[in-house]
Structure 1
């Protein structure tokens, strides 16, 4: 039934074209518009008579998105944990028995501050005895020096007194250094996060004392990345850090990416420094979304609006009230968005809802 209508329309159009043409293009355009209006009216009348005129029910409701260039990022997502830059389990430098504890849990301490004292009674007695000997040797040396300055006595007497004095000074310095090792000091500034040390407990070098000092103002996220991304993830890359327990998401950059693949885990470590915040705590779970691809002028469509045939991918666009099937080529997919490499242009209206069961040329209503 449609073929006679098209034949009639073409016949009328050709007949009108056979009439005298206007002298200029503006007049020609106006003449063609009038002829088009006349033709549309005749076609509508014939469709009414034949019962073929489309009604609102013949148009499918759709939702479209107008394409525009956007920033597109593809991510490598890994799970890590928050760790402190300074998270130290304190160990003693010498063996001994704890005689005093000077700090408690939650107390802020400075680098080098004494946290506990080991028994150093014997050392203190040795230091006092050696100090007495040094005082005598210093007095003898000073007198001998005065005599030598006046050319009284022999050079050997002067040098002997000097040697005795300097030898005792070195011995005393060694004893004081040994005595200092009986003081358990904090190697970093921070907060005492654990204190399990008790008075009277025996400690030894290399064994934890039960004291932990954490600097919570210098935190980082540590994560293990699969070796598959060894060529894509590098120091300085953009990353989004998500802390589900806070909750919070913040932009950052990879501060460290190991160059060596661990032979056991088959991955490499990355670190991301965090800003100082009381909300962040060591050992919190963190999600790292590392940018391994970016396009600042990308066209993207919802990935579920992309349909596939045996040979290609395609979407439907809305053009002048009709659905138009367009073959496309997609790239990366991230956060439910597919990057369009070819087939579409900025300004195209892609149908994202209601595209099911659409055919090329179907009427659509936005």
Structure 2
């Protein structure tokens, strides 16, 4: 009985393939599959009535996965780099010539520590001269004050002496402040990462001196995220960080997400703070997987186990030794797995291997 029926089905199939319209071919194929399923059912019924049983070879070997609720995460994956929160190129505040260098590359320094001394001979001489004038003005003021306290002399004499003394004090303070700028100090605590300065070299404000101090204890990962994820990625989101050069993986949270989209790159910056670790270095490559969707009670199936027709998606499940076709609705896809929103339930055995040539109702062996 099988031969005539399959011959008719094949004839219909080849006749339908004469059409050049892909949609017509797909529709015909779906129709033929449905007819084949119905024919298989009728054949099985007649074989059962005639007392015929299937041979062992009629069973198809399959592998299944039993569904259970699990954690499902969807990621936005971007590449970034490690950066130091305190990474400073030292610049002088005043022009001058380098007369002394107190540190070398690799040395640990503290905030405010003097790194370099610039020539300050002229300023020192000016300070000494002004100090002499201030000492004289102070002596005159003290004597004038004693006379004024005894009601001797005029108030104008007292106020003039006071004004001269205070004026010289302010000038001296300003000159000492200027002199202190000749001592180039570290604005942060950290390690001297570069030292390209030489004795006798002239430096000027606004130009790097060739000294860089990096605080490797305060590092972060910076990355640019496409504007497409502007509504999904926010400060506080969970993120998985992979550092291929270490190698190491760690979990953290987004510490900063910019609100403005860059008009050139069409993206926005995100930052994630890193824990202190001697292995981490600025400018290392970092892969960020920012979680933009989470479901702690999801049903998940491998993406390759899902088949598609024109109107639906479906999988095969093993039930009572038979393959059963089940239409499903899928959600997010991540790491080769798809979230199933409807169509399946906990305990269903989804066929993940051997489903390619299956039909609804075929006998299967796990």
Question: Same fold per TM (> 0.5)?
Answer: yes
Structure 2 SS opposite 1:362: coil
What are the equivalent positions in structure 2 for 1:303-342 lying under 5 Å apart? Answer: 303-342=303-342
C-alpha deviation, 1:49, in angstroms = 12
C-alpha deviation, 1:98, in angstroms = 0.5
Structure 2 SS opposite 1:228: helix
Question: Could you report, residue by residue, the CA deviation over 1:200-249 in whole angstroms, capped at 9, with x for unpaired residues?
Answer: 11110110100000000000000111111111111111111111111111
Question: Could you report, residue by residue, the CA deviation over 1:157-201 in whole angstroms, capped at 9, with x for unpaired residues?
Answer: 211111111010000001011111111111111110000011111
What are the equivalent positions in structure 2 for 1:43-54 lying under 5 Å apart? Answer: 52-54=52-54
Range with bigger deviation, 208-217 or 46-55: 46-55
C-alpha deviation, 1:270, in angstroms = 0.7
CA distance in 2, matches of 1:243, 1:48: 62
CA distance in 1, matches of 2:132, 2:92: 30
C-alpha deviation, 1:303, in angstroms = 0.4
C-alpha deviation, 1:107, in angstroms = 0.8
C-alpha deviation, 1:48, in angstroms = 10
Query: How many residues end up aligned between the 2 structures?
Result: 323
Larger Rg: 1
When normalised by structure 1's length, the TM-score is 0.85
C-alpha deviation, 1:58, in angstroms = 2.1
CA distance in 2, matches of 1:270, 1:49: 70
CA distance in 1, matches of 2:337, 2:80: 25
Alignment match, 1:355: 355
Alignment match, 1:103: 103
Alignment match, 1:10: none
Alignment match, 1:80: 80
CA distance in 2, matches of 1:228, 1:262: 13
Alignment match, 1:151: 151
Alignment match, 1:25: none
CA distance in 2, matches of 1:58, 1:145: 121
Alignment match, 2:7: none
C-alpha deviation, 1:63, in angstroms = 1.3
Alignment match, 1:344: 344
Structure 2's unaligned 5+ residue stretches are: 3-45
CA distance in 2, matches of 1:201, 1:355: 76
CA distance in 1, matches of 2:52, 2:292: 55
Alignment match, 2:12: none
Pair 1:267 & 2:288 matched: no
C-alpha deviation, 1:56, in angstroms = 3.0
Alignment match, 1:114: 114
C-alpha deviation, 1:70, in angstroms = 1.1
Alignment match, 2:68: 68
Structure 1's unaligned 5+ residue stretches are: 3-45
Pair 1:224 & 2:234 matched: no
